[in-house]
Amino acid sequence: MTAEGRLVLMYDPDTLATLSVKDIKTILIHEVYHIVLHHIPRTIRLFDALSECSDLEKRKFYAISNIACDYAVNSLMVSNGDCKVDDIKNMGEKDPETGKYSFGGVYPSDCGLPPKQAYEWYFNQLMSDADGAFQNLFQFMAECGTLPGGMEGGSGDGMSDEELTELLEQYRKAHSPTAQDTEMRKQIEEMSGDQLKAAVSRSERDSRNAVSHAKEQTKKGRGTVPGSLKEAIDDMLSTPTVPWQRLLKQWLLNTLRTRRNRSSRRPKRRLLEDRRRHAPQSHTITRSTRHFTEQSNRPLSRRQQQSDRLQKGRLTGTVRA
């Protein structure tokens, strides 16, 4: 990734010369999955929290983050049928004496972790050393003969942070030599918080445009896309929609339902008195005023009219005996 957030695929011609066409195809599918799954912007968001960390913590963070991305992609490729575990593990030139290949990709089983998990899940598991992941990794590298110098013959128990970081970096170097992110790390460390956010937006936009363009090219007959990868691409390019039916149902189920008990019985006087006692004063005044207004606007009956005339005659002294 450049300083502007552009994604650039770089390769080493010498390393590429040692790979077969099948190996190159597997690596290219691997890199496409990184783009489709937005691993680079998702990783940059986590890098933004490293400004106050020490150099050792940053080294450990970078190594675990890269391993977690590869675990997520490689296990997804195997589960989707894009390749087999042996295709990932056995790459490069084969040694005729030992029968081992020059390098092999990483896989979650190296640490005793399950496949088909997301990048963030693998990252959290490795950061917390869940289920003895680093102990399992040490044993795996001891069997492969790829432990760092000075760790041979050890058990991997009680490693310091320096030793653990060295183990993780050696694991990437020996089992995933094509994963070189030195330039990207350098660019990220030189960016400010605002520049990182801009780089994330730019990389997401560029990756989406690149995948959309490649998808259109396949429709014109210029290459094919595996079905599993096509589903991931469709999910990436689809517009997020709000499941309003499910949300509405959930809201209705969580809403309190009020019930009104209807009865022909007279209300209890005690309840009425309590209700009047606790009723707001302003509400009482409003009701009294409205009642007075309604009573004054009603037409007078004949008896009320005679009573009014009689009362007026008494006041004026014109009442006849």
Model confidence, pTM: 0.66
Q: How far apart are CA 296 and CA 222, in angstroms?
A: 90
Same domain, 170 and 308: no
- pLDDT for 5 beyond 60: no
Confidence of residue 321 (pLDDT cuts 50, 70, 90): very low
Task: Decide which of 279 and 134 is more confident.
Answer: 134
Average the pLDDT over 96-103 and give the result: 77
Confidence of residue 319 (pLDDT cuts 50, 70, 90): very low
Confidence of residue 228 (pLDDT cuts 50, 70, 90): low
- pLDDT for 170 beyond 60: yes
Buried b (16+ CB within 10 A) or exposed e, 279-299: eeeeeeeeeeeeeeeeeeeee
- pLDDT for 214 beyond 60: yes
| Among candidate residues 94, 38, 43, the one with its CA nearest the CA of residue 64 | 43
pLDDT score of 283: 44
Same domain, 166 and 305: no
- The verdict on residue 160 lying in a domain is yes
Sign of the C-alpha dihedral, residues 215, 220, 224, 230? positive
Same domain, 314 and 176: no
Number of separate domains in the chain:
2
**Helix 21-36 with 193-219: angle, nearest 10 deg:** 120
- The verdict on residue 300 lying in a domain is yes
Q: How far apart are CA 20 and CA 83, in angstroms?
A: 14
Distances (CA, A) of 272 to 39, 260, 263, 285: 67, 17, 15, 17
- The verdict on residue 135 lying in a domain is yes
R_g (Cα) of the chain, nearest Å = 38
pLDDT score of 203: 77
Q: How far apart are CA 112 and CA 129, in angstroms?
A: 11
* Per-residue H/E/C for 123-154: HHHHHCCHHHHHHHHHHHHHHHCCCCCCCCCC
Task: Decide which of 290 and 272 is more confident.
Answer: 272
Distances (CA, A) of 202 to 6, 7, 45, 123, 206: 7, 9, 13, 24, 6
- The verdict on residue 6 lying in a domain is no
Average pLDDT, the chain: 75
pLDDT score of 261: 62
Same domain, 287 and 198: no
Average the pLDDT over 261-279 and give the result: 67
Task: Decide which of 191 and 281 is more confident.
Answer: 191
Task: Decide which of 273 and 261 is more confident.
Answer: 273
Same domain, 57 and 174: yes
Structural domain of 304: 280-321
Q: How far apart are CA 75 and CA 125, in angstroms?
A: 16
- pLDDT for 242 beyond 60: yes
pLDDT score of 107: 93
- pLDDT for 114 beyond 90: yes
- The verdict on residue 264 lying in a domain is no
Same domain, 228 and 106: yes
- The verdict on residue 253 lying in a domain is no
Instruction: Point out the domain boundary residue: 202, 237, 272.
Output: 237
- Other C-beta atoms within 10 Å of 224: how many? 9
pLDDT score of 96: 81
Confidence of residue 178 (pLDDT cuts 50, 70, 90): low
Same domain, 220 and 313: no
Same domain, 192 and 296: no
Confidence of residue 287 (pLDDT cuts 50, 70, 90): very low
* Residue 256 per-residue DSSP state: P
